[in-house]
Chains A and B, each alone.
Chain A
Amino acid sequence: MALNGDDEDFEWEPPTEAEMKVIQARRERQDKISKLMGDYLLKGYKMLGDCCDTCGTILLQDRQQKNYCVSCQELDSDVDKDNPALNAQAALSQVRERQLASQSPASSQSAELNGGPSSSHIGVSVPQPRPEHCEGAAAGGRAPLPPPAVPSTSAPPPPTVLAPTQAEDAVLTKLRWATNQLQSSASLEASIQLCSLISSCANSLRSLKELSQ
C-alpha cells in the first residue's frame, strides 16, 4: 500500500519469521507495560511527562516523590529469569537440557544440525533470550548476552570427563551463590560486581561445555 506513490517500496520487505517473533514479543511487552502503568495510576501514582533514560518508558512518581520506571524495575526482572547469564536456575536448566540432548540417540538431528547454519538454529527446548532484553542490555552497563550455543548433539559425550564436570559444578555453585547475593543486595556497586561475576561464570560454563565436546 503505497501512500506517496514513490517507487521506494523496494526497500521494504515483509518481516521474516524471526522478526515476526520479535515484533510479537515487543507488542506483548508493551501491553504488559501499559497494564502495569494503568494499575499504578489507579493506585495513585502520578504519570510524569518524562521518560526513563534507559528504556524510554514513561516514568511514574509515587506519593513520596520517588520516580519509578515500570519496565526497568519490574519487567526486566522477569526477563532475567530466563537469561542464563544472570540466573542460576536458567543456567542449570540449560545445562541439563544440553546433557539430555547429548545423551539421547540423536543421529538424524545431528546430521541436520551439521548441515544447517551453525549459529542461528537452536533446539526448541532451550529458551531463547528475549529480544527486548538485548535492547536493554546494551545500555546500563550490563554484560552482553552470550550467543545461544548450539546443542551439542553432534558428538557423543566423551566417556571420562571428570575434571570439566567438577569445574562446571564449582562454577554453578558460585553462580548460585552470586544470584542469592544479588537478590538480597542493596548496594549498587555490589550488584554490578555480582552481575559481572555471574556473567563470567556463564562464560566459563560455556567454555567448559566447548571443552567437553
Chain B
Amino acid sequence: KSSVQTIGEEQIQNPYTELLVLKGHQDIVRFLVQIDDCRFASAGDDGIIFLWNAQTGEKLFELQGHTHKITAIASFSSSDASEEKKNLILTASADRTVIVWDCTSGRQVQKVSCFHSTVKCLTVLQRLDVWLSGGSDLCVWNQKLDLLCKTSHLTDAGISALIELPKNCVAAAVGKELIIFRLIAPNDESEAWNILEVKRLVDHQDNILSLVNVNDLTFVTGSHVGELIVWDALDWTKQASECNFWDSSVHSDAQPEIKLSQSPNETSVQHLTSDEECVFAAVGKGIYVYHLQMKRVIACQRTAHDSSVLHIEKLPNRQLISCSEDGSVRIWELKEKQQLPAEPVPTGFFNMWGFGRANKQANQAAKKMQETTAVYFLELVGDLIGHSSAVQMFLSFGELGLATCSADHLIILWKDGERESRLRSLTVFQKLAQNGDLQLKV
C-alpha cells in the first residue's frame, strides 16, 4: 500500500479554487517559461510554442517553425538602448535549429540551423548580452545571432545542463562531469570572444541531472544516483555533499520503513531548487530539504508522490510546490515542529540491519542538531488534481496563479477563486461605468 501522505477534500489553505484549461498542444507539454509579469510560453513535443496570458488564459500566439520536438526554451529580454524593451524567446528543437521569437508580434525573428547536434540547453547571460547553446559543444551567440565562439566537440551525449557562474564563468553538466568554462569578452587586447575550459569536476558517480545556482557563491548539483554536491561558485570546490540522504535511516523522524535496495530511479535527483537557506531536492518520489548552513537534510517527505517528482519550486511564502509523474501537483509547507522532537530511534534498531559507520555518524550528528535547533517538517497543505498524465513542469505567477503543463497535452491555469471573483466584480463595475449604466436614469 502506498505510503503517500494524502490530504482530504477539505483543504483550507489551498488557494487554488478556480481553474482554466488551456488547450492547444497536440503532444506532451514539457516546458513553461515566463516572459513577463503576465505572459508565459509553453512548448513541448509537438514543436509548437504557444504564448499565453497568465491572467485570462488567452492564447496570444501560436508559434510554428520547428519540425521536431522542443528540447530547450529560454526567455530573453533584449535591452537595446534605442528601442523599448523587447521580449524574445529562444527555442531549441530536435530538428537542430534554434529560433528566436518576438513575443510582442509573435513573429519569428531569426533561425539558426547550423548545429551539428540537438541543442539541449539554452542559457542567457543577460549581463553580457549573449546566450549560450549547449549540445555536443557549447556555443556563444550574441543577440543578433552571430556565433561568437564555441568549444570543441565535448561529448556525443551533449551538455545536459548549463548555469551561469560569477566571473563570466559557466558550469556545464556533461554526463558525470561538471565542466567549468570561462567566457572571455572582447577587451582592449582582443576583439574576439573566446571560451576556455577552466576545470573539470568529476566528483559525481553518475550522470548529473540537475544543476542549480543557490546564490552568487554557491551552486548545487544532483546526480542520478542521489548524490547532492554543494559547490563553491568561485573556486569550484566541493563545500558539502550528501550521498545517501534519501536513506530513511538517516532521519530520526522517518517512518521505520527500510528499503534495502533502492532502485536508481527512486534515488535520482530529478530537480533542485533553492532559497537562501535551503536546497530543495526532488529525489525519486520524495522531497528533501537540505539546509546549507547545517549541511544536513532538515526535513523530508520520502514519498511525496506516487511516482517520480519532476519539478519542484519554492514559493516566497515558505510553501513548496512539487509536481510528479502521477499527474498531481502538491503544495507543501515547511513548518517548525512545535512539540519536542520525537525520541531518536534507538541506534540498535538500525544496527540490526547492519548499516555502515558513516551512516551512524550522520545519525549522531543529526541527533546533536536536534537538540540545539528547531526541527522542521513538510506538511501537505493542498493538492491540485486536474491532469490525467504526468505533470512535467509548472510556473508560479504568484498572485496570478499557477500554470502546470502535462503529458496529457494540456496546460492548466490554477487560480485563486476569491481573487478572480473580486477582479471580475471590478471589471463588471468598470464596464457598468463605461456603459454609463451606473447613472440613475430618470
Is B a genuine binding partner of A? no
Residues of A bordering B, CB below 8 Å? none
